[in-house]
């Protein structure tokens, strides 16, 4: 029986290990305990887990073999390439590493970041398209049997039920998912049946979401004429598609909420607007009533009969004053005649002339007064006629005689715009000779 020394045994084992593999070999594991002593070599441990057991092997990189810094990969899963050997003095096997590459999520994240930087430099994350305020048709690109589709449809119908939802089924995971999604985006833009596109899927691992990190898909999203909103995964998931999209939301449901207004908020705004219109209309009617009352009072003030009566009173007052003056003069003359009978003859001519002048003055005053009264009455009559004509022209019945009509809804409210008329099924039209009730025909889709 041959007895081996430890040195011989280790040497034999080393030969078996070195000669067993075709070099170089690649090993997958997680890096730990990375160090770089003064000699410039780098040492670390490569580990993996299998069930309840954890396995590891020592690794090293000779100084000058690679410029890679092992510490940068600490606690990451990597692929190391090199040669398996054995340190005879201790009997421990090790890998002499020549290259390290990221593996798993680390590699995926690096590839995503490289694509993101490339597209950002090209400007694909800029120039966002505006979203429609009230989308009539919404396109959903997603898996037809996903929970995300059900949640989004429910949210859209609860918030904005008048919008139509068009589903464009597509793969959202796997090798062929990017091509599927691209075809549906092209189809949406070609058909022009929707106002906005929702690109959605539920949460998942980084690998599950890789379809949305595809560079071709990103370029198609950017090229879309229709705005695209993404709701991919759950917070904090973010993909290249989210960067390129016009709007990116943290979840599919959040995307549905973002693109649609809340029907209850809209109804409240409509009710507020109706109340405001009602108040303004009532205020305008009240103002018109006050103006009308003022005009009526003005017309009454210039009523010819009233003016004639006023002038009659004025004339009677003048006549009374005139008679009083004449009476006073006569009384004075009579009194003086008793004392100045002698002087009557001398003053006869003077008195006769004064009486003649007074009579002439009376005639002139009366004639002038009558002429002024006549002119004033005529002017007031003309003003009254003008106001009366203006009042008649403002009469709604006169406007209806010209061929116009007043449109009212079933509640009797006046319909003032085509937009309001399109909302109601039946209405009435008031003409000069009566009211006609009209009901729109029911369209059959």
- The band of 51, judged by pLDDT with boundaries at 50, 70 and 90, is low
- The band of 254, judged by pLDDT with boundaries at 50, 70 and 90, is very high
- pLDDT of 230 above 90: yes
At a CB cut-off of 8 Å and minimum separation 6, what does 237 contact? Answer: 203, 209, 250
Q: What is the pLDDT of residue 326?
A: 84
65 and 139 assigned to the same domain? no
SS3 401: coil
Q: What distances in angstroms separate CA 431 from CA 46, 276, 403, 424, 434, one per listed residue? A: 94, 28, 8, 20, 5
Nearest partner of 332 among 347, 312, 319, judged by Cα: 347
**Beta-sheet pairing, 92-102 with 137-142:** unpaired
221 and 132 assigned to the same domain? yes
Q: What is the pLDDT of residue 131?
A: 93
Cα–Cα distance, 200 to 231 (Å, whole number): 5
> Which of 68, 103, 138 corresponds to the end of one domain?
103
- The band of 159, judged by pLDDT with boundaries at 50, 70 and 90, is very high
Which two structure tokens, joined as six digits, stand for 360?
């002439």
Which residue has better confidence, 335 or 228?
228
Tell me what percent of the residues of the chain surpass a pLDDT of 70: 96
The mean of the pLDDT values for the chain is 85
CB atoms within 10 A of CB 92: 11
> In 252-392, where do the E strands start and end?
none
Q: What is the pLDDT of residue 105?
A: 65
349 and 434 assigned to the same domain? no
Residue at 275 is within a domain: no
- CATH number of the domain bearing residue 252: 3.40.50.2300
Residue at 39 is within a domain: yes
**Beta-sheet pairing, 42-50 with 25-35:** antiparallel
> In 144-184, where do the E strands start and end?
164-169
pLDDT, tens digit, for every residue of 365-377? 888 888 888 888 8
> Which of 103, 132, 154 corresponds to the end of one domain?
103
Cα–Cα distance, 445 to 443 (Å, whole number): 6
Which two structure tokens, joined as six digits, stand for 59?
């690794």
Nearest partner of 384 among 443, 304, 276, judged by Cα: 304
Residues 168, 139 contacting (CB under 8 angstroms)? yes
Q: What is the pLDDT of residue 442?
A: 62
92 and 143 assigned to the same domain? no
Q: Where are the alpha helices (DSSP H) in 209-262?
A: 215-223, 240-244, 252-259
Cα–Cα distance, 145 to 157 (Å, whole number): 18
Q: What is the pLDDT of residue 235?
A: 65
Highest mean pLDDT (candidates 61-75, 126-140, 349-363): 126-140
pLDDT, tens digit, for every residue of 349-370? 787 888 888 888 888 888 888 8
**Per-residue H/E/C for 1-21:** CCCCCHHHHHHHHHHHHHHHC
Residue at 390 is within a domain: yes
Residues 229, 247 contacting (CB under 8 angstroms)? yes
Residue at 287 is within a domain: no
- pLDDT of 178 above 50: yes
Q: What is the pLDDT of residue 427?
A: 85
257 and 115 assigned to the same domain? yes
> Which of 229, 261, 293 corresponds to the end of one domain?
261
Task: Provide the 8-state DSSP code for 212.
Answer: G
Summarize the confidence of residues 228-236 as an average pLDDT: 83
Which residue has better confidence, 346 or 196?
196
Distance of CA 273 to the CA centre of its chain: 16
Q: What is the pLDDT of residue 248?
A: 92
Contacts of the segment 59-66: beta carbons below 8 A, 24+ positions apart:
59/94, 59/95, 59/96, 59/97, 60/94, 60/95, 60/96, 60/97, 61/96, 61/97, 61/98, 62/96, 63/39, 64/40, 65/97, 65/98, 66/97, 66/98, 66/99, 66/100
Summarize the confidence of residues 304-319 as an average pLDDT: 79
The 10 Å CB-count burial string (b at 16+, else e) for 406-434 is ebbbeeebebeeeeeeeebeebbebeeee
Cα–Cα distance, 34 to 45 (Å, whole number): 7
75 and 113 assigned to the same domain? no
Summarize the confidence of residues 200-228 as an average pLDDT: 88
Summarize the confidence of residues 239-247 as an average pLDDT: 91
DSSP 339-365: H-HHHHHHHHHHHHHHHHHHHHHHHHH
Q: What is the pLDDT of residue 430?
A: 83
Which two structure tokens, joined as six digits, stand for 46?
């490569």
The count of C-alpha atoms lying within 13 angstroms of the C-alpha of 228, restricted to the half-sphere facing its C-beta, is: 29
Summarize the confidence of residues 26-39 as an average pLDDT: 90
Residue at 255 is within a domain: yes
Summarize the confidence of residues 270-274 as an average pLDDT: 88
Q: How many residues are given for the chain?
A: 445
CB atoms within 10 A of CB 7: 11
404 and 390 assigned to the same domain? no
Residues 235, 251 contacting (CB under 8 angstroms)? yes
Domains of the chain: total: 4
251 and 137 assigned to the same domain? yes
172 and 39 assigned to the same domain? no
- The band of 260, judged by pLDDT with boundaries at 50, 70 and 90, is very high
- pLDDT of 104 above 70: no
**Beta-sheet pairing, 247-249 with 228-232:** parallel
Which two structure tokens, joined as six digits, stand for 10?
């280790």
Q: What is the pLDDT of residue 409?
A: 84
Residue at 192 is within a domain: yes
pLDDT, tens digit, for every residue of 38-49? 999 999 999 987
- The band of 445, judged by pLDDT with boundaries at 50, 70 and 90, is very low
- pLDDT of 80 above 80: yes
Residue at 133 is within a domain: yes
388 and 344 assigned to the same domain? yes
Where in the sequence is the domain holding 79, given as residue range(s)? 6-103
223 and 134 assigned to the same domain? yes
Omega before 6 cis (within 30°)? no
Residue at 286 is within a domain: no
334 and 379 assigned to the same domain? yes
Cα–Cα distance, 350 to 329 (Å, whole number): 14
Q: What is the pLDDT of residue 206?
A: 74
SS3 260: coil
């Amino acid at each position: 029986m041959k007895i081996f020394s430890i040195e011989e045994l280790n040497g034999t084992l080393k030969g078996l290990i070195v000669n067993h593999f075709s070099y170089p070999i690649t090993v997958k594991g997680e890096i730990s305990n990375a160090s770089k002593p003064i000699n410039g070599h780098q040492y670390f441990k490569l580990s993996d887990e299998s069930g309840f057991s954890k396995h590891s092997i020592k690794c090293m990189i000779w100084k000058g073999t690679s410029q890679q810094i092992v510490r940068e990969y600490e606690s990451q899963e990597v692929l190391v390439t090199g040669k398996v050997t054995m340190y005879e003095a201790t009997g421990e096997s090790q890998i002499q590493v020549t290259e390290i590459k990221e593996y798993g999520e680390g590699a995926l994240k690096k590839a995503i970041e490289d694509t993101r930087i490339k597209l950002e430099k090209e400007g694909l994350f800029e120039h966002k398209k505006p979203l429609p305020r009230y989308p009539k048709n919404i396109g959903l690109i997603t898996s037809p049997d996903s929970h995300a589709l059900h949640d989004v449809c429910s949210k859209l119908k609860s918030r904005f039920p008048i919008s139509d939802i068009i589903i464009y089924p597509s793969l959202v995971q796997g090798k062929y998912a990017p091509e599927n999604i691209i075809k549906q985006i092209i189809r949406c833009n070609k058909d022009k049946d929707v106002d906005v596109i929702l690109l959605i899927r539920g949460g998942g691992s980084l690998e599950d979401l890789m379809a949305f990190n595809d560079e071709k898909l990103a370029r198609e999203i950017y090229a879309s004429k229709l705005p695209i909103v993404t709701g991919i995964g759950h917070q904090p998931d973010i993909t290249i598609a989210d960067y390129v999209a016009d709007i990116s939301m943290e979840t599919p449901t959040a995307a549905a909420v973002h693109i649609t207004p809340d029907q209850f908020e809209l109804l409240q705004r409509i009710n507020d607007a109706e109340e405001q219109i009602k108040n303004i209309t009532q205020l305008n009617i009240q103002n018109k009533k006050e103006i009308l009352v003022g005009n009526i009072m003005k017309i009454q003030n210039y009523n010819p009969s009233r003016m004639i009566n006023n002038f009659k009173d004025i004339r009677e007052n003048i006549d009374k004053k005139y008679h009083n003056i004449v009476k006073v003069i006569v009384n004075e003359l009579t009194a003086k005649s008793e004392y100045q009978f002698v002087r009557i003859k001398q003053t006869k001519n003077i008195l006769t002339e004064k009486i003649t002048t007074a009579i002439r003055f009376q005639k002139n005053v009366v004639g002038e007064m009558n002429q002024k009264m006549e002119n004033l009455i005529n002017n007031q009559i003309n003003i009254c006629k003008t106001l009366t004509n203006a009042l008649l022209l403002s009469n709604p019945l006169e406007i209806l005689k010209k061929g116009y009509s007043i449109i009212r809804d079933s509640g009797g409210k006046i319909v003032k715009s085509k937009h309001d008329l399109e909302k109601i099924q039946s209405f009435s039209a008031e003409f000069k000779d009566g009211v006609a009730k009209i009901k729109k025909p029911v369209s059959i889709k």
